[in-house]
Each structure stands twice: as C-alpha cells, then as structure tokens.
Structure 1
C-alpha cells in the first residue's frame, strides 16, 4: 500500500488513470523527497517485525534503504539513540534511511534530514501525535563550497492511513491552541493554513477544508468527501452487454438523450458495440 502496489487496488488504479493518488514510495514527486523517514509503530515487537518484513528478499525496493530499529534497550537512550541514527545516515545527501521507532526520538530531538513520518499506530493524545509529526519540520540548510547556504528541505510530510484518526487529532489539537477563539472552525482553518491536509477517500485525493475536518472528526465522513465519491470513476463499470441492454431500453435512452453529453456519445457507443461484436465473431471463426 505504501508503494501503491497493492494488488487488490490494481483495477481501481487503472480506472482512476491520472487521478491515481500519489503514494509515498511510488510517485516520483515524493520518492525524490523521502530519502530519510521515521516510521512510528505501536511497540518494540512491531518495529522488529517491520524490519524483518522490509528485509525479505521480495521487498527489493527497500534494500536500498538502511533500516534502523530505534526501539528497545539495544537502541540506547537519549543521545546514544540519536547518534546511532545520525551515524547510519553518514552523508544524508547520498544515503537513504528508514527509522523504525515506537517512541524514541519522537520528542525533543532534531534530525534535519527527516522529511516524512508514517503514523502506523493509534494515539489517543493529540500532543503525542503532533510532537512526533513536528520532528520532520526541522529546517535543513547546508553551507555550499562557495560560502552560500542552500535549503535542502523545502517540504515535509505526515502520512496517516487512518483518515478518521488523523482528522480527529487535528480537530482536537487545533481547538486547544487558541483558547480565546470560540469558533472551532476558525481554529481548525488557522491550523491547516500551516499544515494543509490532503485526503484520499478511495477515489480522489484533494485538500480538505476546516468544515470537512470537523465533520469527519465527528461523523466519520464529510458531505464534500461523500459527494466526491459519487463522481468517482470507480463507480463506473460498463461492458458491452450493459451498453446493449441500455440502448435496448427505450425509457432509459429517452432520459439519457436529454443529456447533451450523452447525445454526443450515442453514435460512438453504437460503433464500439458493433466493432466489439465483429472482433468476437472473427475470433470465434478463427478458433473453428
């Protein structure tokens, strides 16, 4: 799923075409940015299990990354844990790392090359959630050979595959920041101005508003996201048999012919059906 190569969604991805969502380790726009990431997991056992999974021979893509388990007693405490992570990066402009943690290095530390964090656990505390998320916001600037400074990190990302959980954390956290403002929608809007939220609802990816954040946090979805699903290409599943039955139904055709877009397509649909039938007949004759 993280690489956008989940077999069960292959057909859906083909239907979406150019609207296919940008997955972290498949879309080139993200792949070039996410050289160093932090994966926030539930416990020590899950960190080692994830490392074992990424190290399996079929997961060749991740073999280019140094997988560092920053969990348990062997990872060290405080500065020791941080130094091990920095040492594993060596030259961060040339290396690629994935840090697996269940709590270490998620508060009070700065690892400049981190550009993304994956929230792979349930957190009830918004403070813990955003303390970890803000680890990837640390500026990363280097000195060039000619004495100038070059900004290496212009963007960073928080990935959460549980939309309801993420938006509830945003709603709770942003409403705690400004105690003088009584309107929760304004509080959320001010927060997401600095932390834009892109939501993928199974059909499209779009930036969502403060109203959507609050609606989803309360009810599990929003009117906007729900309406978008009705426009999704995933709902369209039309084959030649369906088209033939549709064109044979006078009432349905009368209703559809009132739509200008369908009137323009009507001739093309008949042509497609005829050509498809001709191809099937030709194949059948060849087999005989």
Structure 2
C-alpha cells in the first residue's frame, strides 16, 4: 500500500514540476508544498525500505522454518525407517528363534522317543532272559517259585509307573504278594513231602515185595518141616499186616480190622501146626 502511495506521489510531483516549469514561475507557498512533498517522499521511501527489510527477514525466517520442518520430516522419515528396520529385524529374529525352538523340540521329542524305545527293548530283553532262566530249571517247584517272584516284580513295576507315590496301594500289594508267596512255599513244601513220602512208599513196597518173595521161597524150600513152615508163615503174615497198617490213609476202624484179621490168620497157622504135630 505504501509503495502504491509513493508511486502516486512521485507521479503527481513530476507532473507538478513539469507544470511549474511550463509556466516558469512559482510562489513561496508552492515551494513549501514542494518541500513537504519531497519530505513525504523520503519518509515513504524509508518506510518502504523498512517494510522490505522486514519482509526479507520474514522470508529468511520462513525459509529457516521450512528448513527446520524439512529436517524434522527427514528425521521422522529416518526414525520411521529405522524403527521399521528394527521391527523387521526383530520379526526375523523371532521367526528364526521359533524355527530353532521348533527344531529343538522336535529333536528332543525324537530323542525321547528313541530312548523310550530303547528302554522298552531293554525291559523286554530282561523279561525274556528271566523267562528263559526259569524255563531252564529242572525242578518244577523251583520253576514255580521263580516264576511267582518274577511275576511279582513285574506287577510292582507296572503299578509304580501307573500309580506313582501311592504308598497305600503299594502296601496292599506287598500284603497280597506276601500271602501268595507263603501259599506257594506251602504248596512246594507239601509237594516235597508228598514226593518224599511217595519215594519212601515205593522203597517200602519194593522192600515188602522182596521180603515177601523171600519168605514165600523159604516156605517152598522148607518142605515138610512143619515148625519152620509155621514160623515163616507167621512172619509172612506179620509182614502183610505191617504193610497194611503203613497206609496213612486208612481209618482207625480199618486198622483194628487189619489187626483182627492178622490175629485170626496167625491163630489158624498155629492150629494147623498143632494138628500136624498130633
């Protein structure tokens, strides 16, 4: 606005100067007006220069501000780019970590599976060895006792794996297995006694058979010797009585009957001998 006013004033002054020159004269008032106009022009020029200086300063400040804004924008862009790079790197690291963790877990699972399979094979092999050892025993009672103990060991191991820390259950298992072991031992004891008895009975039977045959042979060899035949006959009868009484399965009544039959037979032998002596 001041610039436009200055330019208008300058144009008016120029026209006025040309007018005064044309008429070749001027009054003192006109001179004063001219001086005032010149002063006004100077003042306007100073104001214009001040405004121009201020405008230039504003432009420099705006440029400076624009430079700062550009720098801040660039810093923001660089920061965003750095942040994104860090995020990308973190994502990559996280991905690699997850892949490695998955590989570690898979390797661990494979190793555990392999170790479990090896443990199962060791257990199976141990059982086979125990079974073969039991089967190789000649004595039936020994085989039964070993088989029971091995069965108890496997039963305990299975329950311990399934019910870990259950002491009450393990106590009941101990009582059960102890009773089974005692019953097995009692059965073996009876079996041994029965075997020994059978062996004794067999020996006694063989001895009886042999002695009876010897006495019968003596009766044949004695011929007409009545006294000797009587003694041998009584001895043979006693042998038969003792053999009959040796049977543990007979009752008391059967024993009395055997004794009575022997006494009768002995009496008959003595009567027959007495008759022959007459």
Q: Is the helix fraction higher in 1 or 2?
A: 2
TM-score range, shorter chain: under 0.3
Which TM-score applies when normalising by structure 1? 0.22
Q: Is the strand fraction higher in 1 or 2?
A: 1
Q: Which of structures 1 and 2 has the larger relative contact order (alpha carbons within 8 angstroms, sep 6+)?
A: 1
